[in-house]
Chains A and B, each alone.
Chain A
Amino acid sequence: MNWKRWIGLDNLPEQYAFDRSASTGYTSAAKIPDHWVATTCGYCSVGCGIEVGVKDGKAVASRPDAAHPVNRARLCPKGLAEHYILEAENRLKYPLLRKKGKLERVSWEEALRTMVERVGAVQERYGKQAFGVLSTGQLVTEEFYTLGKLVQLGFGTNNYDGNTTLCMSSAVAGYRTSFGSDGPPASYQDLTDADVVVLIGANIADNHPILCQYLHQRPGQTVVAVDPRVTKTAMISDLHLALKPRSDVALLNGVARILIAEGWYDPAYVRKHTEGFDALAAHLAQFTPEMVAQTTGLSVDQLYRLALLIGKGERVLLAWTMGVNHSTEGTRTVNAICNLSLLTGKIGKAGCGPFSITGQCNAMGTRESGFTASMPGYRKFDSEKDRADLAGLWNVDASRLPAQRGLAYPDIIEAAVGGKIKALWIIATNPLVSFPNQGVLRQALGELDFLIVQDGFHPTPTTELADLVLPAAIWGEKEGTYTNSERRVSKVNAAVPPPGEARSDFDIFVALAEQLGCREELYPGWTSTRDAFEEWRRVSAGRLCDYSGIDYEMLGRERAVHWPYPEGADAGGQHLYGNGVFSFPDGKARLVCAAHVPFPEQPNREYPLVLNTGRTVEHWHTRTKTREVPILERLSPQAWLEMNPRDARGLGLRSHDRVSVISRRGVVKGVELRLTEIVAPGQVFMPFHFAETNVNEVTQSAFDPYSREPNYKQCAVRVERTGVNS
């Protein structure tokens, strides 16, 4: 503190000055930028248009892009403070290589050379497949497209997956088994157009708050929340069905049975556009209203009310997020949701459809253009035609394209424990916070010969373990596109240059291809992400996710457009399957039988509580970014555990006590206890953002057999006091 301030002559008038400008109106002078850069928010996949204000080369302000169609001049608290992450103190600026146990700064040349040498050595000794890659939903589509080619053709391994498997892979697997392809059939406008919106395991008020403004815009709309917890979303709904954990399949099947029994379905649609009705009807016989009521803990009356809304509502949207996906039965639950839309024929038109609300800003981009669960353009590994088609577009021999998918994320970790994966490249994700059952993960990473982490920040719990850390540019520092939950492609632009020697992920991938000697083959003449986008347009042409009619200039004008957008079309498609033709060869959708399977780890005397996990509006995923934003940290400084007061009474616990959450796998210590009737007796809830009190120390290694998505939402725990609130 300077002496003038200390005696009070100086009260920092310049720092706290106000001013007017044409672009901002009256505001803090420090926040009035020289210019605004229109881009797309880099947090969740609502995909809001945002403008970043730049003053003297630094990002100083964020505001909604009023011209963007998605967010209607609104942002959530994370978006309103997004510019802070660009100036964060722990941005990673230089490549770091572990030498004698310590991470030391090295040149890019040494970093890339070392990476290619070490990975090459591992692949030579253990085989190409011994190199695994874990990517993300955070890069731009162009980078996913570039990375997919690099991993599958350059490094020659198909053990490549994204953290999207922790997030939306059950939606992908569900769409593929019900409709023959990934691709969410509905869009946000349907949240307004629907007469009935059923939000299943979707707490959008916390996780996608900007979507809430689409609800209740028309008189008579009924919003139903299906959630075991009384979430913010449940409270703004017209009807909340507080079902028991993991009884959603029973509920959905119970509704389907009533629809058929009462004739509240569309037999004509079912006959014409679906397969499997008879098998489904037979399968549903066991889901009597009484059985469903007992399984879900809801009343028969509530069940019929929901069935009536879904069956008789003119336009019905069935939306879901992680409550459905984070489950060992996630894929089948998605199938059960799709069944209801198919049975009632409420799909492919305004206000209708099953609709997955995605997690990360560009999870959709990697699903479409990446090379993980499918080949670019939703092409199937096991389709010879698809492989030949893609090989032709790329001018490579079709034999170089893998005929099956490699290991999924959890299986890569397991393979590392078993010594089958010996080198791992982690890009823009932080598994040391986000992966379930951390003990196994730490063991896996410990057994690797070489771990490369590419990130915008250091230290994170994951970069701290790396042998090589590559500094990447982040949102706000690079150009490309994101695709949001509703298939809307939106432009991402650089507001400021990356710090230090950090480079865009695109540049890093191209440089690695150069090092591998395959740059010209994979990326002929490419210099920027625009080149990748132009090739991706050609590769996606004619596919369901058709980008061929979209270019950067159009996105500059219109901000965001839906795919499919074939070359020459006037607009993108707001719905998929409007014509009733699905992506299976026969054009028919499948009605899939989903079994009710209780969650794998039931509570018992030793671990009597069911632990549910989730998020809070102030933070994003593993908090790598939001912990760097002072106002968000202030608003949500630490994790908490929600417990019903009736459970607490028996344990002698009080609000603000510090507790340990203990499972068979581990313990989280020092969590602040919150007693609340938000959670049911017998259940507890904890947010997963906090590395310091990481709930994934106790969650379970249990995965959906089809999507490989972890079962984050239920495991058995007990709670003990570690400190008293005074």
Chain B
Amino acid sequence: MELPLLESDLMVLVAQARTQLVPDRAPGEGEQYRFHFDMAKCIGCKCCVVACSEQNGNPAAIQWRRVGEVEGGYFPNTRRHYLSMGCNHCVDPSCLRGCPVEAYTKLPSTGVVVHSADACIGCQYCVWNCSYGVPQYNEERGVVGKCDLCHNRLSDGMAPACANACPEEAIGIEIVNVAEWRASFASLETPGMPSEDDSISTTRITLPAQMPPDLGRVDTMRVELEHPHWPLVVMLVLTQMSIGAFIVLWLADMSGEVAWFTLAVAVLSLGASVLHLGRPVHAYRALRNLRRSWLSREVLGLGMFAGVASGYALALGFDWSHRQWVGALTAVCGIAGAYCSARLYIVPARPMWNSKFTFFEFASTACLLGPLSLAAMTGEPKDFLLRLTMAGAGLQLLTASLRLVWLMRAETPELKASGTLLTGRLLRHFVWRLLLLIAGGIVLPAVSLEAAFVMCVVGEVLGRWLFFVSVVPRNMAAGFSSVPGGEA
């Protein structure tokens, strides 16, 4: 297209674009751009949403700017307000911190958090990390995308599309002193926004002068299931089984034939897990951000486990005399990999995952399926294998039950909502998960190892599916209406 802009054209555009909505200077040292949203002015017309989608050429299902509703009061003294939000361009963005491929950059001169669709591999870890639901996965492209504050318009002196389209001038851009904001942000609570977390949102929201005390979200009665991420369900259960099995192999110094099978399961499930990515061919890039990303570390840990475990399988096959050292290293790599696996779910934006139960759940799977798989493969119901299996089953049972109690007694709305899902819409799944665990892990092993093994695997897969679909993420308030077909 025509480049560069003619000065006269630019003047016309700038005049049209209501320059008072943007600062007349660039941020200086220690400053950054941010959104200002005036809740008192917003009439909920959603022009900003449409303008954003048009600006960025996004399909309808993806809205980098969204409008939520909060409501309170008593007829006729009812208030409904709207919350329009793009990206909060956080001081310490959790999307950026977790991204394994360093697709995110916080631009040093403006503080705008930008995302590179070329660098992105579509792992969606940023989606899990953001407390505001800002990064959204674009199925069509296989990558995530998000609001970039229209910084390329800003640098031309034009307002972002959302601000420009707002008929009430409720959205504007301003400059914030980061240090001052860091010191003062925590005191700000906005109805419909999750409480500030360690990422420190920079958006300033002007609240209406008079708000009913119960002004709150209208979407709380509607909880959608989250995406199940099947490749991850399979990968987590099978790698944990394999790690458990190798640790038992090492501890019991068992013979080598079953090791190959166990190893094959681990390698295949790791391979299958790239199907979770929007861009599987670029999976190798996930190793890039070992400094900060637990996802990068998981890939490294599980990769090393697979490598060392192959060595251990060989050592077992050749009956190498120093094999226990290789076994020990396998166990260490396995435990490290499994720890990273669990650790990456410890994110404030997903409260149900963000607890010790996640570690216990993953460890229990290893303790249950590791020994049981060995017993089933060898066909020998060795006592210690069965005892370990039962211990794993017991631990998993305890984890699942205690977590449910914790969820149901929680004050946090997202935790409570997860509890409601597990005792409501997902109750049958949850009960089956427990029954399979009891039957396969405690009752059946003495009767039929094969049946017990199959039941336990199915049970753990179901458990991990529940882990993914029943988490209720923190997010900004949404509108009331449910979307037919749902997001999940």
Q: Which residues of A contact B (CB under 8 A)?
A: 5, 7-9, 11-13, 15-16, 18-23, 25-32, 61-62, 66, 73-77, 80-81, 205, 209-210, 212-213, 230, 232, 234-236, 240, 242, 617-618, 630-638, 640, 644, 654-656, 672, 674, 676-681, 725-726
Contacts and interface: CB of A to CB of B under 8 A. Distances in A.
Given A16-B57, A28-B54, A235 B117 contact: no
A29 to B, nearest CB: 7
Count class of interface residues, chain B: 35 or more
B153 interface: yes
Contacts, number: 193
Contacts of B479: 635
B53 to A, nearest CB: 5
B433 to A, nearest CB: 18
A9 B79 contact: no
Interface stretch (B41-49, B128-136, B333-341, B439-447): B41-49
Contact of B168 (A18, A61, A212): A212
B252 interface: no
B483 A15 contact: no
A726 B142 CA distance: 32
Interface in B4-32: 4-6, 9-10, 13, 15-18
Nearest to A227: B76
B378 interface: no
A76 B75 contact: no
Q: Which of A13, A15, A27 has the most CB of B within 10 A?
A: A27
B121 interface: yes
B141 A12 contact: yes
B59 interface: yes
Given A73-B18, A631-B49, A678-B78, A11 B279 contact: yes
B140 A12 contact: yes
Nearest to B421: A726
B278 interface: yes
13 contacts: A8-B282, A11-B117, A16-B141, A28-B54, A30-B57, A31-B54, A212-B43, A236-B43, A242-B76, A637-B484, A677-B71, A677-B74, A725-B221
A209 B222 contact: no
B62 to A, nearest CB: 9
Given A11-B117, A76-B45, A672 B482 contact: yes
B424 A213 contact: no
A72 to B, nearest CB: 9
A28 B57 contact: yes
Contact of A635 (B49, B118, B221): B49
Contacts of B9: 22-23
B165 interface: yes
Nearest to B73: A677
A230 B54 contact: no
Contact of A209 (B1, B2, B45, B117): B45
B480 A674 contact: yes
B478 to A, nearest CB: 11
A119 B6 CA distance: 60
Q: Which of B17, B118, B482 has the most CB of A within 10 A?
A: B482
B57 A680 contact: no
A637 B300 CA distance: 44
Contacts of B279: 7-9, 11
Contact of A8 (B80, B122, B152, B218): B122
Contacts of A62: 54
A680 B43 contact: no
Nearest to B159: A25
Given A617-B44, A655-B221, A21 B75 contact: no
Given A212-B167, A633-B60, A11 B141 contact: yes
Given A16-B57, A74-B165, A8 B47 contact: no
B66 to A, nearest CB: 10
Nearest to B164: A73
B156 A210 contact: no
A368 to B, nearest CB: 28
Contact of A61 (B18, B54, B480): B54
B6 A22 contact: yes
Nearest to A640: B481
Contacts of B165: 74-75, 80
Contacts of A13: 117-118
A654 B142 contact: no
A212 B42 CA distance: 11
A677 B16 contact: no
Nearest to A67: B16
B50 A631 contact: yes
Contact of A678 (B2, B75, B140, B278): B75
Q: Which of A29, A235, A672, A680 has the most CB of B within 10 A?
A: A235
Contacts of B54: 27-28, 31, 61-62, 80-81
Interface string B264-279: 0000000000000111
B56 interface: yes
A150 to B, nearest CB: 38
B188 interface: no
A25 B482 contact: no
Contacts of A618: 46
A213 B75 contact: no
Given A213-B168, A232-B80, A633-B60, A205 B43 contact: yes
A634 B57 contact: no
Given A8-B122, A12-B140, A27 B482 contact: no
A190 to B, nearest CB: 19
A205 B59 CA distance: 26
Interface string B419-454: 000001100000000000000000000000000000
